[in-house]
Amino acid sequence: MRAVIIGTGPAGISAAETLRRLDPACEVTSLSAEPYPPYSPPAMADHFLTGREETLYWKGVDIAEQLRIDERREAVVSGIDCDNREVVLQDGGRVGYEALIIASGSRLYAPIKGADKPGVLDFKSLKTANELVGKVRRGEASKALIVGAGLIGVELSLLLVELGLKVTVIERESWVMPRILDQETASVVETALMERGVDLRLGVSVDEFFGEPEVTSVRLHSGAVEHADLFVAATGVRPHVEFLAGTPVAVGWGVQVDEYMGTPIKDVYAAGDVAEAADLLSGERYVHAIFPNAVAQGRVAAANALGSKVRYEGAESMNSLKHLGVPVVAIGTIQGADEVVKGGTKGSVRSLYLKDNRIIGVQLALDTSAAGLYRSLMLRRVNVRRYIREIQSPDFSPADSIFTWPSLPHTPLATRATS
């Protein structure tokens, strides 16, 4: 078997590990647009703060040797020739495959005028993050302006404050991380950011990055102009799918896959931030751009590429904030709830979002000790109506009978072989 993997992010590298584990003789080639060994994007901020490499290069810098794979760096894929079963590279080269795993992840999505101009940086890949932090380290920046207060914008603002910059974050919505957090949980994050010196502007829209040849300011929707010497777009991500244009691989927002992470094209699979996988709870198909999903999907895609029939159970939504100084965890969704149950001790946030008496979302701040229990109840789809008082209690703990009750239906989290 000759397998080719596009991308060596968490999805690509877990696919490579699985291929090697299941088939010691499989020939594996990985193609990465970047010049680095496989790395973990969530570990970038810590790496720039501490210099630590073990968590950044989470599999070891020699993972390709360990796995005996042909790892090609700065090998940018520009197309796929499905008829001839070849991946086409930007430099004109071609790499033949018997099975193909598309794990090209996601890139910055910044639908703002001027966002493509020189001087607008991002913190999405190690390459762009190195450029950004390099500018700070060389003393070329003292005032940063970050557009977007999602998870990446928030994390980056904390890093840049730590690196000694004055930081302004501009967010169009009225609270931070609006797609992940409810307003009450977000307020905990906002307080922590402001205590760290971040100048947070909420409910403010940026219409344009401008300046020639490099961006020197942004124009707000109000007409006001804000100057800085470091501009970052952190307005969202979108799947890396451009190279699939003109191929028969079906692409919506991301690559459309079935429950086996397969595409309608024989022997072509997709995994990670590039794939529109089904949600574990709702079954809805969309891109769930988080690390654990990428790893699990990479494993499933690889097993199936080798001829297994492993079903992906579905993606989870789960986020926590690192480096904030206060723990914040969001699990599931707050959309579509018909009831919100509040609990928690004074000062902390504990909001459980229910639909038809089942937990569909959990928001915790300051005290996140019960996160695992709520997640378990959510994934098991337990009817919690009778236990509302218990689950609201600040003392709700693993010893609670509701958690250990033996007859609870269990839905395995990872994957299940169907044959």
Ligand X SMILES: Cc1cc2nc3c(=O)[nH]c(=O)nc-3n(C[C@H](O)[C@H](O)[C@H](O)COP(=O)(O)OP(=O)(O)OC[C@H]3O[C@@H](n4cnc5c(N)ncnc54)[C@H](O)[C@@H]3O)c2cc1C
Q: Does the protein bind ligand X through residue 77 (CB under 6 A)?
A: yes
Looking at residue 28, its amino acid is V
Backbone phi, then psi, for 316, in 5-degree steps? -105, 160
Q: Does the protein bind ligand X through residue 44 (CB under 6 A)?
A: yes
Least distance in angstroms from the C-beta of 114 to ligand X? 22
Q: Is 406 exposed, middle or buried (0-12, 13-18, 19+ CB in 10 A)?
A: exposed
According to CB under 6 A, which one of 12, 150, 343, 361 is a site residue for ligand X?
12
Q: Does the protein bind ligand X through residue 289 (CB under 6 A)?
A: yes
Q: Does the protein bind ligand X through residue 255 (CB under 6 A)?
A: no
Q: How many residues bind ligand X (CB under 6 A)?
A: 36
Q: Does the protein bind ligand X through residue 332 (CB under 6 A)?
A: no
What is the number of other CB atoms lying within 10 angstroms of the CB of residue 417? 10
Nearer Cβ to ligand X (123/374): 123
Interface segment toward ligand X; rule CB under 6 A; list 50-58, 103-111, 136-144, 173-181: 103-111
Interface segment toward ligand X; rule CB under 6 A; list 183-191, 287-295, 363-371, 407-415: 287-295
Nearer Cβ to ligand X (291/312): 291
Nearer Cβ to ligand X (8/351): 8
Backbone phi, then psi, for 335, in 5-degree steps? -80, 135
Unique residue bearing structure tokens 């946030």: 349
Residues 6+ apart with CB under 8 A from 348: 364, 365, 366, 367
Least distance in angstroms from the C-beta of 10 to ligand X? 4
Least distance in angstroms from the C-beta of 249 to ligand X? 13
Binding mask 23-42 for ligand X (x = CB under 6 A): --------xxxx------xx
Residue pair 225/218 in contact (Cβ under 8 Å)? The answer is: yes
According to CB under 6 A, which one of 155, 171, 190, 267 is a site residue for ligand X?
155
Tokens representing residue 215 in the block:
């961006």
Interface segment toward ligand X; rule CB under 6 A; list 8-16, 204-212, 216-224, 334-342: 8-16
CA distances from 326 to 27, 155, 195, 283, 342 (A): 46, 13, 12, 32, 19
Separation between Cα atoms, residue 123 and residue 146, nearest integer Å: 10
* 412 dihedral zone (left: phi>0; alpha: psi -120 to 50; beta): beta
Q: Which residues bind to ligand X, rule: CB under 6 A?
A: 6-12, 31-34, 41-42, 44, 76-77, 103-106, 123-125, 152, 155, 240, 243, 272-274, 289-292, 294, 322
